[in-house]
Chains A and B, each alone.
Chain A
Amino acid sequence: MTALFIKDKEFHDFVAALVGATPVYAPVAKRSLFAFERLVSADALRLDYDVTILPPKKLFFPPAQELLKFTGGKFTASVHPEEKVLFGVHFYDVKAIDQTDQLFAEKNYDVNYMAHRQATTIVASNIQKVSRRAFFGTVGQEVHPKGHDAYLTKIGTGYVFETFTPKGEALTKHGNFEPATDTQRAEVVKVNAAVLEQCPEKLTHKSAEIATKVRQAFKNEELWRECAVDCFSCGTCNTVCPTCYCFDVQDTWNVDQKSGSRTRYWDACLTESFATISAGGGHVENFREERGERFRHRIMRKASYLNPKLGGPACVGCGRCSSQCTADIADPVRIINKIMAL
């Protein structure tokens, strides 16, 4: 691991050189919000973003990902990863990527995700502006971000660029870096620690206590029903979540009616028919028929079910679900704190 420093005015050239050398995906303005998009120029980069609409999972696990193409009975896999740099990822999203890395790799290794993931060099960046529903300061504190190749922190008149892997190291050739001083390195620690205190929302308890008590609240039907009264079953809380990765698979034909493709699409456990099976004769069996049951499943999955596997909650405190739920009922902080206060 090395820590380097680059001055503000040279940082622009570094980003421009990167963009010239390789596809770079980074936060850019999208109307009044932000999104990770292909960076066309260094000027478009917005490291002062608070949070993006969608998490960067979309680069490894796109909203629609073709699994195979077929023509009659012949078929070929559709894995064509693009070597790229994912630039400016906040630490909560780094944690989430690390979780999806684990979940897609475990047991049955998912080539479709892993190929894109392995073709990506991740440069994380410190949080310059905290989003209005963030709670990353108090969620899963025992889980530390890992899996990124470099970490960029804005301090004073420039950026400290820490590298953790050869892939991260390789990027430094594009910029005029100098070794970081001890003072600068100390500043990095200070800046990244300070932001944890700035979240507008806070969980009142530690992950392990939450995992136990939330799980015990499973049978509190009244609670879950009430939480979900205004739920639209629209799945926004799922689709914008950096640790949600459920999908549907559909086959379609091309207009020639002979060839076509099998594609997976983001799915959401909050939508009504997510757990429905056909039982024949037009009958269906929906294993989570009520809104409250679906709402509960998400909270359980974020706060409890996956903890043993991940070493902490499957929630990183980005606040995307809270801010994007139009009925404003999805906020995990509100629900979890409510359960912890029961």
Chain B
Amino acid sequence: MSKPKVAFFDFASCEGCQIEFTNYGDKAFLELLNHVDVVEFREAMSETTTEPIDIALIEGSFTREADRARLEDIRRRAKIVIAYGQCAATGGINALKNHQNDYLPCVYGKDAGMPHLASQKALPIDAAIKVDYKAFGCPMNKYEVLQIISHLVHGKEPVIPDYPVCVECKRRETVCRFAEGDHCMGQVARAGCDAPCPAAGIPCEACRGFVDHPNIPALKKVLVERAGFSKARAESKANMFTANQLELKP
């Protein structure tokens, strides 16, 4: 691929993953622009395109049927579609609303039954269109995205880890959250982020979703037995970024 045309699109999201793309620092970012042609990116430019593109980076989850046509149009125009960030990859944090019994009464009290609160499930974009690759994470890891783009520039399929965050914590020699009486979900969370949270003393929330075959029963057991969670909390904890992965095993 010679200087591929890259375009960003967004659906239900905070657009933080797109902002993150501008955080490489001037030198690396300008160097990257020598190798890709950004043709639509509303965080940094006003131009848009209706032309064919090589790589579509789609941020956000698919939450309205009305969005399907726009997703299909992008798919038609793009050689490669990347679900960019966790909302697009698995539904991400938006999928919390998919089990809304959890919070509706808590947030809205007696108004919990108002009709406009009922909305479609927050789904990954591959519920609407074929996705070629997924850049996981909330936000996505910008260095991983750089590698994904770099691989695609060379016509190589990107390498996306299917091992858990524990591997990266150990490579960094991070003190395990469990060693300090805390909890963590790194055992089932997909790596690729270089495990910054546990290194800073914060439990992994599995913001990149689960590995392909997470051992969920063991996770719940460990959260109860070692972290002292109630059974109910252990259940809901495993749902934060991953509700769709538990419910919608493709």
- What sequence of 0s and 1s flags, for each residue 300-338 of chain A, a beta carbon within 8 Å of any chain B beta carbon? 000000000000000000000001101110000000000
Given known pairs A255-B146, A272-B162, A272-B212, the reply for A234 and B176 (CB within 8 Å) is no
**Which range holds the interface residue count of chain B?**
35 or more
Q: Say yes or no for B35: interface residue by CB 8 A criterion.
A: yes
Asked whether A33 lies within 8 Å of B175 as measured between CB atoms, the reply is yes
Dominant secondary structure at the A interface: loop
Within 8 Å CB of A250, what residues of B?
A: 159
Partner of A327, one of B175, B179, B221: B221
Q: Say yes or no for B153: interface residue by CB 8 A criterion.
A: yes
Partner of A253, one of B150, B170, B174: B150
Chain B residues 144 to 195 lying within 8 A of chain A, measured CB to CB, are: 146-147, 150-151, 153-154, 159, 162-164, 166-167, 170-176, 178-180, 184, 186-188
Closest to B28 in A: A255
In Å, the complex CA distance between A273 and B175 comes to 26
Within 8 Å CB of A33, what residues of B?
A: 175, 179
Within 8 Å CB of A127, what residues of B?
A: none
In Å, the complex CA distance between A183 and B186 comes to 51
In Å, the complex CA distance between A266 and B191 comes to 14
Given known pairs A53-B175, A257-B35, A266-B171, the reply for A233 and B222 (CB within 8 Å) is no
Which of B159, B163, B170, B186 gathers the greatest number of chain A CB atoms within 10 Å? B170
- What sequence of 0s and 1s flags, for each residue 213-231 of chain B, a beta carbon within 8 Å of any chain A beta carbon? 1110111011000100000
In Å, the complex CA distance between A265 and B226 comes to 30
Question: 15 extra interchain contacts, Cβ-Cβ under 8 A, other than A30-B173, A63-B171?
Answer: A63-B172, A229-B218, A232-B218, A233-B215, A234-B163, A235-B166, A236-B166, A239-B166, A255-B35, A257-B35, A272-B213, A291-B215, A323-B179, A326-B176, A327-B218
Binding site for B on A (CB under 8 A): 30-33, 35, 53-54, 58, 63-64, 229-236, 239-240, 250, 252-253, 255-257, 265-266, 268, 271-273, 291, 323-324, 326-328
Binding site for A on B (CB under 8 A): 28, 31-32, 34-35, 146-147, 150-151, 153-154, 159, 162-164, 166-167, 170-176, 178-180, 184, 186-188, 201, 211-215, 217-219, 221-222, 226
